Structure 1
């Protein structure tokens, strides 16, 4: 069967793109390794959804079901940034209300299910990098231990930072060398009576980078952000990660009541800003982290994935109807997001002046 659109990647961007296209009556194939449901996917970092997502979820018709999901409210942030003292910022006066700390595996599965209900075909598989000739668009997918070549008119690359399709058609620009080292603490100490009821994200700057911690449905997430060449090898062990947490002023307090004997080995993932240029061309378009990946300090990753996924879906639908100028509009849309992000990124890092000679902070003060 020939599809009008193949969406590669079933995270928020890909699932929403497939949802929009299926509702527009397009024949859509969504391929993703995680289509087996929440139980088939491990814990994923990237859990904060800002209040501004609420109107978009309403517009997509997803709000009623999302609102009954297992996610926790996020009512604001505390930050030790530019000062050793904590400063609070509440969502109390946000016109959209509070944000959320998501159960990411369930959230992603919820979006994929919505796309399937709308008519998209879901397949547990992954896109494989594959060069094609102009006018002969094919996507090579791997699933159930076999390779299959599927023809289509358009491809949406929503494969995250890997950008398995877009990286062969555009140039990727890295912002820096930021890495995240993270662990999920889920086991409470026996007999500890106090529940972990803190619903704000906590951010704490330190000489070599910054930490954050957030309460999520599965427990408490703790992450350390630093540059890849500045990481300490001790952070690869549970003991080393706990020792590093112990040097913090505020983050360590949030782990009160969690059993250190069951501390998990930390995991590592890329967290640098990344941009694909161009992010679209004849027959293909990138969305989510494949097009724009942000420093986690912005907390905008999931929100941007939802917006770019929806916009990419609408853009492809217009192009299939002959309105090819929609590609240029999509590029301008991404440029506006990038400009706002880069201004905010520079301003925020510029507020921390306590360690100007440490490589991590010196690099960000000198960044354009």
Structure 2
């Protein structure tokens, strides 16, 4: 079937970092791939990418629009704690251009691109999957495929049809405004620093941010509380930080999953990746690295399924991801549940971030995407400092 005109080995639904990575890997493996993506869709995102991502996915310097060497944590009391990055930096990207770079690279390596809106998956009498989508002109298009990778974001339509449990993952709703960056040093703005606001007035259960992207800056917030006005919150944050007068270039909002789905495949011909699979880190909301890794693992699982004909291979994507990062997601989930629950706890959380052991281990884990185990004494020190803050023995 895969060699017939108009048919594919894999149709990837969604052209964000996860889907584009999956399509690229499969195309390079010699598979016939269709990458289906909506036109003009940009996800609200701070745009931070760690060095591990740059290395693993061969991201060229020209795609990195800024290099951040510190983060500033702002508590409800307005107390500020700087967390410098020693001997390194975090790359910043603009998702409008970053995502398109990944899609173009996949096409250059052999993936076919199509623009349209996914509608449904049907099956022919012999069991062959048919992806149905609406083209830009509204015409219905049908393509036959052996497998489908659903990388169409949170509240995935692919997941809703084929892996219903994954479509029910709880979400934080995120909103940001991309504005023209002010001159470096304007007010408290620093073009090489990410500012993170742990303040209930800007987000009752998550955080708000100001992330520089070179010529532009992302100002955003997130919350799972229905009725909380994200747009008003961002407006208030811009006003409070002296950025209200900066030209607004675009506005974007979207749900962001906060928990990996318990199942990523339908046991037959569909596997999920990226936000559709729920792989955004709790507490931090970081998703680009995990999305691209999820796309790569979905591609590997799809390749194994195509090579063997055994649909059980599709389960490898989730199994391998959780083996590598499940513990980190579990820890971050606990952090978000506890530390973000009140301004009193947020105040203590920011105070903990002042500790040099916390800063060093946090950056090492973030930059390399691994829990740091080689310094057990530092972990012991942090544990007892955390207890002191929890029980009020340490000053916030």
Give TM class, smaller chain: 0.7 to 0.9
Partner-residue secondary structure (3-state), 1:276:
coil
**Aligned residue-pair number:** 331
User: 1: distance between equivalents of 2:192 and 2:54?
Assistant: 18
**Is 1:327 equivalent to 2:332 in the alignment?**
no
Are residue 22 (structure 1) and residue 27 (structure 2) matched?
yes
Partner Cα separation in structure 2 for residue 84 and residue 107 of structure 1: 33
Structure 1 length as normaliser, TM-score? 0.78
Q: TM-score, normalised by structure 2?
A: 0.73
In structure 1, C-alpha distance between the alignment counterparts of 2:218 and 2:89, rounded to whole Å:
19
What is the CA deviation profile of residues 35-94 of structure 1, one whole-angstrom value per residue up to 9, with x for unaligned ones? xxxxx556743411122212212xxxx33xx2122521122322135874222223324x
Q: Given the alignment of the two structures, is residue 346 of structure 1 paired with residue 346 of structure 2, yes or no?
A: no
Task: For residue 213 of structure 1, give the secondary structure of its aligned residue in structure 2.
Answer: strand
User: What is the CA-CA distance between 1:161 and the residue it aligns to?
Assistant: 0.8
Question: Equivalent of 1:76, from 46, 70, 78?
Answer: 70
Match of 1:224 in 2: 221
- Residue 260 (str. 1) matches residue 265 (str. 2): no
Question: Paired residue for 2:362?
Answer: none
The Cα shift of 1:106 comes to: 0.9
Match of 1:214 among 190, 211, 227: 211
Shift of 1:20: 0.6
CA separation of 1:160/1:241 partners in 2, compared to 1, >3 Å: closer, same or farther?
closer
Moved over 6 A (4+): none
1:4 aligns with 2:9: yes
What's the CA shift for 1:182?
2.1
Kept after mapping to 1: 8 A contact 2:44/2:254 = no
2:343 paired residue among 355, 358, 364: 355
Among 134, 139, 158, the residue aligned to 2:131: 139
SS across alignment from 2:10: strand
Asked whether the 8 Å contact 1:74–1:201 carries over to 2, the reply is yes
- Equivalent position to 1:154, from 125, 147, 151: 147
Asked if the contact 1:180/1:271 (under 8 Å) is kept, the reply is: yes
Q: Distance in 2 between matches of 1:305 and 1:318?
A: 20
Matched residues in 1 for 2:345 and 2:63: separation? 45
Q: How does 1:164-179 map to 2 (within 5 A)?
A: 164-170=157-163, 171-172=165-166, 176=170, 178-179=172-173
Q: Which consecutive residues of structure 2, in runs of 5 or more, have no partner in the other structure? A: 1-5, 350-389, 391-396
CA distance in 2, matches of 1:193, 1:215: 10
Q: Give 1:109 shift.
A: 0.8
1:50 counterpart residue number: 50
CA distance in 2, matches of 1:149, 1:353: 47
- Structure with the greater relative contact order (CA < 8 A, sep ≥ 6): 1 or 2? 1
The 1:42/1:154 distance shift into structure 2, 3 A limit, reads closer
Secondary structure at the aligned position of 1:148 is classed as: strand
Deviation at 1:346, TM superposition (A): 1.4
